[in-house]
Structure 1
Amino acid sequence: MVRTRLGVVERRAEMLGAAVEQIEARGVTAVRIADVAAALGVSNALVLYHFSSKEKLVAAAFTHAAEADLAHLRAILSRRTTALRRLRAAVRWYAPTGQAKGWRLWIEGWSAALREPALRAVTRDLDQQWKAALAEVIGEGVAAGEFSCPDPRATALRLTALLDGLAVQMTAYEGALSRTRMLAWVDEALNRELGLSAAESAAG
């Protein structure tokens, strides 16, 4: 098989995508430069040319994943619809699927961040940007009179904390919680935070 010659930007993106997949499959601790190289059919030296150490590769891989998640979030929140609909769509997208795809990566990241300052900075920045984005759209909904919320930032923190906890349950303990029940709890929490009844939320 003849590999296409890639530019620096494309090559780095390819390596970061492969690193994300390997971290999800093997975990941060177990993943090696060799695993990423083998997945792409390139040499270890080429990976190290672009990322001088495993630690730098891992931090860059999480940054790559975070940027993709944030881009998707911003696309949801920029839709031309009500703040409530945008908020509900964002919260439901954030919530884990039945297979918890993607959440293994972030749970790995949280764990490794306890020991890796560079990774801690990446995960903290993603967390802060998520909360800020949700708080902003909550503020827009309050200003438009769609719902009431005295402290959008605190509401964003509580909602993401709930989602993070549910994601750990669904990812670590298969069958512990169905997606249907999880989404019902999320909807209830969202309605409670915004002072909405179930009927008002459905109408919005």
Structure 2
Amino acid sequence: MARVRLSVEERRAEILRVAVEQIGARGVGNVRIADVAQELGVSSSLVLYHFSTKELLVAEAFAHAARGDLARLRELLGGRGSAARRLRAAVRWYAPTGQAKGWRLWIEGWAAALREPVLRDVTHDLDRQWKAAIAEVITEGVAAGEFRCERPEDAAWRLTALLDGLAVQMTSYAGRLSRTTMLEWVDEALVRELGIDRERLRSAR
């Protein structure tokens, strides 16, 4: 059977999808252009036509993996209800045991970014977008009189740093920390950062 001819955009998306899978399975250091090509049943030269180096492919794959989660984050933060309700829902979704991006993939990316400038630029930009989205809803809550927070940007940094750190612990040392305890710590952080009491946070509508 003849192979279906894909548009440039479709082919790039297909390559990126498989690259994400290969990174998750093999790790950034071990994945090869040939592995991605073989999985797709195409030549390595075709992959290189769309992504001229492995470093560029890996960086674009991480950006591709994050786009859906960024869209979901903004959907949660921009939905109906109080700022507290929206922020708590988004933070719990983003948490290590939530439904957001595969944490193992991102830990791989952070480690590789120490050595790969292209990947470092991509992960830094994605991190900036996450923090900006969190800071925006905190600012909105302050303006509405829900929160007491003098520096929303700082609060967003601390919240995402806590979640990222918990993700490393829970991914690297599975079973050492329960999901219930982790979510309690996240709620405690929200209470501190937003200047609201725990019952108000939990009953936010």
Which bin holds the TM-score, normalised by the shorter protein? over 0.9
Aligned-partner Cα distance in 2 for 1:100–1:140: 23
Alpha-carbon shift at residue 51 of structure 1 (Å): 1.0
* Amino acid across the alignment from 2:72: H
Match in the other structure for 1:84: 84
Deviations 1:25-66 (A, max 9, x none): 111100001111122222212111111111111111112122
Aligned-partner Cα distance in 2 for 1:179–1:4: 45
- Partner of 2:157, secondary structure, is helix
Residues 33 and 44 in structure 2, CA contact (< 8 A), matched pair in contact too? yes
Alpha-carbon shift at residue 99 of structure 1 (Å): 9.7
* Amino acid across the alignment from 1:164: D
Residues 96 and 103 in structure 1, CA contact (< 8 A), matched pair in contact too? yes
Residues 20 and 62 in structure 2, CA contact (< 8 A), matched pair in contact too? yes
Residues 19 and 36 in structure 2, CA contact (< 8 A), matched pair in contact too? yes
Count of residues paired in the alignment? 204
- Partner of 2:146, secondary structure, is coil
Deviations 1:144-200 (A, max 9, x none): 111211111111001000000000011111212122211111011111211222211
Alpha-carbon shift at residue 71 of structure 1 (Å): 1.4
Match in the other structure for 1:59: 59
- Partner of 1:177, secondary structure, is coil
- Partner of 2:180, secondary structure, is helix
Aligned-partner Cα distance in 2 for 1:200–1:39: 50
TM-score under structure 1 length normalisation? 0.94
Aligned-partner Cα distance in 2 for 1:168–1:21: 20
Residues 32 and 54 in structure 2, CA contact (< 8 A), matched pair in contact too? yes
Aligned-partner Cα distance in 1 for 2:123–2:38: 27
What do you get for the CA RMSD once the two structures are aligned? 1.7
Match in the other structure for 2:161: 161
Deviates more, 1:40-49 or 1:1-10: 1-10
Aligned-partner Cα distance in 1 for 2:19–2:65: 10
Alpha-carbon shift at residue 3 of structure 1 (Å): 3.6
1:55-204 mapped onto 2 (5 Å cutoff): 55-97=55-97, 102-204=102-204
User: Where does the alignment leave 5 or more consecutive residues of structure 2 unmatched?
Assistant: none
Residues 98 and 178 in structure 1, CA contact (< 8 A), matched pair in contact too? no
Aligned-partner Cα distance in 2 for 1:135–1:7: 38
* Amino acid across the alignment from 1:88: R
Distance 1:2 1:82, change over 3 A: farther
**Which stretches of structure 1, 4 residues or more, deviate above 4 A after TM superposition?**
98-101
Identity %: 72
Residues 93 and 99 in structure 2, CA contact (< 8 A), matched pair in contact too? no
